[in-house]
Structure 1
Amino acid sequence: MDAERAPDARSQEPDLPPEEPPEESPQETAPGEDSGTPDGPAPGGEEDAEPSIRERTEQSERRRRFRREGLPQLWADISGKGGNANVSGGDQTINQFYDGSGPAPRPVSVLPPARVRDVERYTVCTSSSTRLAARLARDPVVLLRGRPETGRASAAYRALLDWSAPVRGPEDTPLGMLRTEEGLTAGDLSEAKGFVFDAGDFNPGDSSAGDAPRTSAPGSVIDRLQVLAEEAKCRIVILVTEKYERDVLVVEHEPADAMEVFRRWLAADGSPGLWTEHRFGEHLSALPDLLAGHGPARVREYALEIAARLRDGRRSLPEVLGTLRLDPRERLRQEFRRENADETRQCFLISAGVLHGLSEAEISGSALRLAELVREVENDKDRRGPRVWGYLHTWLNRDGLSCHPPAAPGEGHRVLLRQDPTAQILSVAWEEAPVLRGPLYAWLHELTGRPDERIAIRAAQGVAHLAACDFRNVRENFLDGWSKDGAKGKRDLVKYTLEAAALNPALAPLVHELLDAWSTGNLSKRTTATVVYGSEIGVRAVSRALEVFRRTILLSPAAGQSTGNWPLHLTVTASVAEIYTSTTAERVLAELGAWARSGSPGLRRTAAFAFVWLACLPSSGDPDRPPLTGYRHMPELPELWCNALAWGRLTGSGSAVPEVWRLLGQWAGRPECDPVVDQIFRTTAARHPDLRMPLRFSLRAWHGWELITADRRAALDGLLSRR
Structure 2
Amino acid sequence: MREPGPGGPGAAAPEPSSPSPTDDQAGSEAETGPEPEEQSGAAGSADGERDPDRSDGRRFYQRVAADEREEQQRRESLRSLEADGPGAAAGRDWIGSVSNEVSGGTFQNAQRDLYVFESAKEDRPVRIQYVPKQVAERLTPDHIASIPSLPELQRALQRSPVVHVRGTSETGRLTAALTALMQWCLPHAAVAPMDESPVGFVRVEGSLTLIRPADLRPRHGYVIEVEKSHGPDAELADLEHLAVKRGCRLVLLVSARGPAPFGTVIEHRPPAAVEVFRRVFDREAAAYGVKPHLLTESALRAAEDQLAEETSPRKAADHARRLARGLAEGRPAEDVIAEFPDRVREEVRQRLSERRPILSRCFIASVAVLHGMQESTVSRAALDLADRIDTAWKREDKKRPLPAWEDLRTWLDRAGAVTRPTPRGGGRIVELQQRTRARTTLQVLWEEQPTIREPLMAWLDGLAHSRETAIRAAHAVGLFATFDFTTVDERFIRPWSKSDSRQDQRLAAWVLEAAAQEPALEPRVREHLRLLSRGTRGEVMVAIRAHGSHLGADDLNDALRVFETASRRSGQGTADAVATSLSFLYSARTAIEIIETLANWAESEHSGNRLTAATAFLRLAALRPRSGRPALTEVARQGGATGHIACLWQHALSLRITEPSGRERPAVPEAWELFARWMVAYGNAPALRPVIEQVIPSGGAGSNRLRAAFCLHARLLLHRGDITPTEYHRLLRLTPSRHQTRS
> Which of the five TM-score ranges fits, normalised by the shorter chain?
0.5 to 0.7
Aligned-partner Cα distance in 1 for 2:142–2:414: 36
Return the structure number with greater relative CO, CA threshold 8 A, min gap 6.
1
Q: Confirm or deny: 8 A CA contact 1:76 1:83 kept in the other structure.
A: no
2:409 paired residue among 377, 393, 396: 393
Q: Confirm or deny: 8 A CA contact 1:73 1:84 kept in the other structure.
A: no
Q: Deviations over 1:196-218 (max 9, x none)?
A: xxxx99x99999xxxxxx96499
Q: Confirm or deny: 8 A CA contact 2:288 2:328 kept in the other structure.
A: no
Correspondence for 1:101: 99
Query: Which structure 2 segments of 5+ residues have no match?
Result: 1-37, 103-140, 146-177, 187-192, 198-274, 277-282, 305-315, 658-663, 739-743
Q: Deviations over 1:615-674 (max 9, x none)?
A: 112x3x531332111211312100110111102586334752553443443443541422
Counterpart residue type for residue 289 of structure 1: R
1:74 paired residue among 81, 96, 111: 81
TM-superposed CA distance for 1:530, in Å, is 1.6
TM-superposed CA distance for 1:475, in Å, is 0.9
Correspondence for 2:646: 638
TM-superposed CA distance for 1:533, in Å, is 1.6
Q: Deviations over 1:493-537 (max 9, x none)?
A: 011111111111121111111111111223332222122222222
Aligned-partner Cα distance in 2 for 1:642–1:322: 60
Q: Confirm or deny: 8 A CA contact 1:358 1:414 kept in the other structure.
A: yes
Aligned-partner Cα distance in 1 for 2:674–2:341: 61
Structure 2 residue matching 1:390: 3-state secondary structure: coil
Structure 1 residue matching 2:451: 3-state secondary structure: helix
TM-superposed CA distance for 1:298, in Å, is 2.3
Correspondence for 2:361: 346
Correspondence for 2:630: 626
Structure 1 residue matching 2:428: 3-state secondary structure: coil
* Identity among equivalent pairs (%): 28
Q: Deviations over 1:665-685 (max 9, x none)?
A: 344354142221122125777
Taking structure 2 as the reference length, the TM-score comes to 0.60
Structure 2 residue matching 1:625: 3-state secondary structure: coil
Correspondence for 2:480: 466
1:516 paired residue among 530, 535, 544: 530
Counterpart residue type for residue 85 of structure 1: A
Correspondence for 2:390: 375
Tell me, yes or no, if structure 1 residue 528 matches structure 2 residue 535. no
Structure 1 residue matching 2:612: 3-state secondary structure: helix
Correspondence for 1:94: none
Q: Deviations over 1:47-80 (max 9, x none)?
A: 3543121110000000100111111232325xxx
Q: Confirm or deny: 8 A CA contact 1:74 1:424 kept in the other structure.
A: no
TM-superposed CA distance for 1:328, in Å, is 2.9
2:601 paired residue among 584, 595, 598: 595
Q: What is the RMSD of the two structures over their aligned residues, measured on CA atoms?
A: 4.4
TM-superposed CA distance for 1:588, in Å, is 1.3
Q: Confirm or deny: 8 A CA contact 1:48 1:654 kept in the other structure.
A: no
Aligned-partner Cα distance in 1 for 2:330–2:368: 18
Higher strand proportion, which one? 2
Correspondence for 2:294: 261
Aligned-partner Cα distance in 2 for 1:578–1:86: 21
Residue 696 to residue 23, structure 1, CA distance change in 2 (3 Å): closer
Structure 1 residue matching 2:427: 3-state secondary structure: coil
Q: Confirm or deny: 8 A CA contact 2:290 2:327 kept in the other structure.
A: no
Higher mean C-alpha displacement, 580-589 vs 361-370: 580-589
Counterpart residue type for residue 584 of structure 2: E
- What does residue range 433-452 of structure 1 map to in structure 2 within 5 Å? 433-452=449-468
Residue 518 to residue 341, structure 1, CA distance change in 2 (3 Å): same
- What does residue range 14-163 of structure 1 map to in structure 2 within 5 Å? 26-28=42-44, 47-77=54-84, 83-88=87-92, 100-101=98-99
1:290 paired residue among 282, 285, 302: 302
Structure 1 residue matching 2:432: 3-state secondary structure: strand
Correspondence for 2:622: 616
Q: Deviations over 1:254-308 (max 9, x none)?
A: 998888426xxxxxxxxxxxxxxxxxxxxx8753422458547426759999989
Residue 693 to residue 328, structure 1, CA distance change in 2 (3 Å): same
Q: Confirm or deny: 8 A CA contact 2:339 2:436 kept in the other structure.
A: no
Residue 407 to residue 511, structure 1, CA distance change in 2 (3 Å): farther
Counterpart residue type for residue 633 of structure 2: T
Aligned-partner Cα distance in 2 for 1:257–1:63: 37
Aligned-partner Cα distance in 1 for 2:616–2:506: 18
Q: Deviations over 1:19-53 (max 9, x none)?
A: xxx997733479xxxxxxxxxxxxx9993543121
Q: Confirm or deny: 8 A CA contact 1:359 1:415 kept in the other structure.
A: no
Counterpart residue type for residue 471 of structure 1: F
Q: Deviations over 1:222-278 (max 9, x none)?
A: xxxxxxxxxxxxxxxxxxxx99xxxxxx9995998888426xxxxxxxxxxxxxxxx
Q: Deviations over 1:561-605 (max 9, x none)?
A: xxxx33233223222223222322221111111111223222212
Structure 2 residue matching 1:88: 3-state secondary structure: coil
Tell me, yes or no, if structure 1 residue 429 matches structure 2 residue 433. no
Residue 351 to residue 305, structure 1, CA distance change in 2 (3 Å): farther
Higher mean C-alpha displacement, 288-297 vs 638-647: 288-297
Correspondence for 2:501: 487
Aligned-partner Cα distance in 2 for 1:554–1:432: 47
- What does residue range 183-202 of structure 1 map to in structure 2 within 5 Å? none
Correspondence for 1:550: 564
Aligned-partner Cα distance in 1 for 2:340–2:517: 28
Residue 332 to residue 385, structure 1, CA distance change in 2 (3 Å): same
Aligned length: 511
TM-superposed CA distance for 1:554, in Å, is 1.2
Counterpart residue type for residue 261 of structure 1: L
Structure 2 residue matching 1:668: 3-state secondary structure: coil
Aligned-partner Cα distance in 2 for 1:475–1:435: 20
Q: Confirm or deny: 8 A CA contact 2:419 2:428 kept in the other structure.
A: no
Aligned-partner Cα distance in 2 for 1:508–1:398: 34
Correspondence for 2:223: none
- What does residue range 664-703 of structure 1 map to in structure 2 within 5 Å? 664-668=678-682, 670-671=684-685, 672-682=687-697, 688-703=703-718
Residue 103 to residue 352, structure 1, CA distance change in 2 (3 Å): farther
Q: Confirm or deny: 8 A CA contact 1:646 1:691 kept in the other structure.
A: yes
Tell me, yes or no, if structure 1 residue 500 matches structure 2 residue 504. no
Counterpart residue type for residue 540 of structure 1: D
Tell me, yes or no, if structure 1 residue 572 matches structure 2 residue 584. no
Aligned-partner Cα distance in 1 for 2:666–2:425: 43
Residue 260 to residue 71, structure 1, CA distance change in 2 (3 Å): same
Correspondence for 1:173: none
Q: Deviations over 1:343-387 (max 9, x none)?
A: 323222211111121111111211121122222233324144564
Aligned-partner Cα distance in 2 for 1:215–1:659: 46
Residue 422 to residue 697, structure 1, CA distance change in 2 (3 Å): closer
